[in-house]
Amino acid sequence: AARLSAISTITSTPPVESGFDFASSPTSSVWGQNVFSLNEMEQRLPKAIFKSLKNTITSGEPLDIDTADAVAEAMKTWAISKGVTHYAHVFYPLTGLTAEKHDSFFDPDSNGGTIGTFAGKALIQGEPDGSSFPNGGIRQTFEARGYTIWDVTSAAYIIENPNGTTLCIPTAFVSWTGEALDKKTPVLRSMQALNKHAQRVLKFFGTNGPFVSSSAGAEQEYFLVDNHFFYARPDLLAAGRTLFGSPPPKGQEFDDHYFGAIPERVQAFMFEVERECFKLGIPAKTRHNEVAPGQFELAPVYEMANVATDHQQLVMTTLKKVAQKYGMTCLLHEKPFAGVNGSGKHVNFSMGSPKAGNLFDPGDTPAENAQFLVFCAAMISAVYKHAKLLRNVVASASNDHRLGANEAPPAILSVFLGTELNQVMESIVNGSPVTSRKTPLNIGVDVLPQIPKDSGDRNRTSPMAFTGNRFEFRAVGSNQSIAGPMVAMNTIMAEALDEAATALEASDTSTQEKLGAAVAAYVKTVWQDCSSVVFNGDGYAAEWQVEAAKRGLPNLVATPDALGVIKEQTYTDLFAKYGVLSERELDSRYEVYSEQYIASVNVESNLVVEMARTMIFPAAVRYQGELAASLVNLKALGIEADHDTLTKVTGLIKKLQDSVAELVALKASEHDAQNVAAHCFMIKETVLPKMLEVRGYVDALEELVADDLWPLPTYQEMLFIK
């Protein structure tokens, strides 16, 4: 069987060598070598041109065509010197993947040769044939054109491949009417909104000025599986997760994988991933084993949200690409193995500017404390008001298997503050001094307590945890772009800061004392209205579900429950008010994400039917035949034996056949769905449970059928053979 030959091939193949000489060429020496960075531009561009470009980057002013021409020329020269022959506008369609349109630098000249051309216009604008990307109804065929537009704030870079090297230009993808067809455009728009209202607040603290940007540090979890196993599992290959498989005799109960020794092949893979990331200027930093066997994590140092979002896409591509060299497949699915820890992408979120510093850092001075309190209270109010939106932006068929599954935050969005910070908030509301402070009260602004430095406890069960100088959004799935979460957080913070600024602007803030009182009043209002979203206990506990319901917090359990949120009037208004997404753009996202949910479950249910019929049923029937033959033989010899196993196998085969037939019927009935929303709910309520029922019979058979007849690599094999 394919499965058994996979095992023998894997165990007899010597490990792949990375081929790097880390002594003569340390990873640090390749840092940024494939990035057309500001430094690189400064060296290659005339002073005036560079200044104009930098101005565009920092202030968002439009790029003029002369500057673009000069930058394009310099970029081309740099790229050709590195063996580049093609350039590509890279964009991020709503599918969450990365798309590219490649063009050659070289045009035929009139003498039968070629010349390298790359005009400014080709740099700043492209016209991909985007008709194959889902647009949720924004583009009709008569207006099919879409444009890619260079995002000057995200540097161009080179991707090396054995068969050709390409200059990649990060772009926004918009329709000819200027509507966002991609994930980048709203990120950029939401960053502008955030900056605008953050500045209004910072004015009160004298720290306004330079662009306030949000930052993101995304911890990426993933699984590695040997390719031989991967290709022997049609479900992994086509759906990215196992649809069948009984739990391994040895699971993660010993915790011996977490921070344990990293297997050699995986280590070589990690070194190379880090090296590739470094070349692209991605600050990959930590790497370690995760909770589940076969699961690992990579965390880069945080960067400006928009750059971090692009880099995060590159990290995912790099993980997949490098894994292949080592004969493995990197699984980014949120739940590749049932009953085993799933994969998340914790997005660490903060905001700040060179002048104001990190606005989620409590700081050392009373003024910094006061500023922090406003931003922290704004965050609490934002999450309280928009918990449903935060659930919406992490909704996907695959993340549903992870959220709330005893290893990932529940679908209820709450905020963890930690005991210290919670006390600070309460003391402001009660007007009483904080007693259990580690540092003495340093009020200055009298009503405000000093914030303890180490106020971020470690709570690993909260979907939105304050961790000392940032909020960690843990509900994001490992396979998701962080663009959606960034757009949501930037926009809801823009609104909360708008409200904070409006409150402060309406107050007497003529002295430090009075400013302090105004800040305290704002914090008090937020706490009174919104503190039910704050929860410092165990988010995995069953009691929390009950408690949260009592508090009236939304609990949108599955994707169909969460998808419709962006169609609510609240969100049409919110996104229009802050200029992030129009109603049509929101509708198109609703359409695309619903279709994706339907399509991905459809692939899975197809696989369940096919694998059950063509792999599991035949194996079970063969085994049934062996058992029956053996009983007949024994009987001929006059030996009495019981039928227990044969009876069980026969019963399971019958149930398997019946449930598969029922699943097929349910799939057929999907055609009756009145609209996409009804279709999504139908899948959630009927198709997915039936798939699980089929799985139950398959997994029971796996525990009975002779090992040499079982066609699918087992959990034990996939997770432990490295």
Q: CB-wise, 79 or 299, nearer to ligand ADP? A: 299
Residue 470 binds Mg ion (CB under 5 A):
no
Residue 474 binds ligand ADP (CB under 6 A):
no
Q: What is the CA 561 to chain-centroid distance, rounded? A: 20
Shortest distance (Å) from residue 309 CB to ligand ADP: 13
Amino acid at 175: S
Closest by Cα among 238, 589, 515 to 367: 515
- Residue 661: count other Cβ atoms within 10 Å of its Cβ: 11
Binding positions for ligand ADP, 341-360, rule CB under 6 A: 346, 348-350, 358
Binding positions for Mg ion, 599-658, rule CB under 5 A: none
Residue 286 binds ligand ADP (CB under 6 A):
yes
- Binding range to Mg ion, per CB under 5 A, among 218-226, 401-409, 525-533, 602-610: 218-226
Q: CB-wise, 241 or 346, nearer to Mg ion? A: 346
Q: CB-wise, 286 or 419, nearer to Mg ion? A: 286
Please give the radius of gyration of the chain, using alpha carbons only, rounded to the nearest integer. Answer: 28
Q: CB-wise, 38 or 301, nearer to ligand ADP? A: 301
Q: CB-wise, 25 or 286, nearer to ligand ADP? A: 286
Shortest distance (Å) from residue 460 CB to ligand ADP: 9
Distance in angstroms (rounded) separating the CA atoms of residues 500 and 513: 18
Residue 505 tokens read as 């602007």
Residue 302 binds ligand ADP (CB under 6 A):
yes
Distance in angstroms (rounded) separating the CA atoms of residues 562 and 403: 13
Distance in angstroms (rounded) separating the CA atoms of residues 472 and 441: 28
645 binds, among Mg ion, ligand ADP, none (CB under 5 to 8 A by kind): none
Tokens 């260079």 map to which residue?
Answer: 150
**Could you give the string, one character per residue 358-397, with x where binding to ligand ADP holds by CB under 6 A and - elsewhere?**
x---------------------------------------
- Binding range to Mg ion, per CB under 5 A, among 212-220, 394-402, 502-510, 586-594: 212-220
CB-based contact 717:5 (threshold 8 Å): no
Binding positions for Mg ion, 257-286, rule CB under 5 A: none
Residue 153: partners with Cβ closer than 8 Å, 6 or more residues away: 57, 188, 304, 306, 307
Distance in angstroms (rounded) separating the CA atoms of residues 32 and 385: 41
Q: How far are the Cα atoms of 421, 590, 592 from residue 586, in angstroms, in the given order?
A: 36, 6, 10
Q: CB-wise, 219 or 495, nearer to Mg ion? A: 219
Residue 219 binds ligand ADP (CB under 6 A):
yes
The correct pick among 120, 126, 240, 300 for binding ligand ADP (CB under 6 A) is 300
Size of the site for ligand ADP (CB under 6 A): 15
Distance in angstroms (rounded) separating the CA atoms of residues 401 and 407: 11
Q: CB-wise, 478 or 624, nearer to ligand ADP? A: 478
Residue 346 binds Mg ion (CB under 5 A):
yes
Closest by Cα among 602, 581, 600 to 590: 581
Residue 215 binds ligand ADP (CB under 6 A):
yes
Distance in angstroms (rounded) separating the CA atoms of residues 243 and 574: 39
Distance in angstroms (rounded) separating the CA atoms of residues 633 and 617: 24
**Could you give the string, one character per residue 30-69, with x where binding to ligand ADP holds by CB under 6 A and - elsewhere?**
----------------------------------------
DSSP label at 182?
B
Query: Which residue ranges make up the site for ligand ADP (CB under 6 A)?
Result: 215, 217, 219, 286, 299-302, 346, 348-350, 358, 469-470
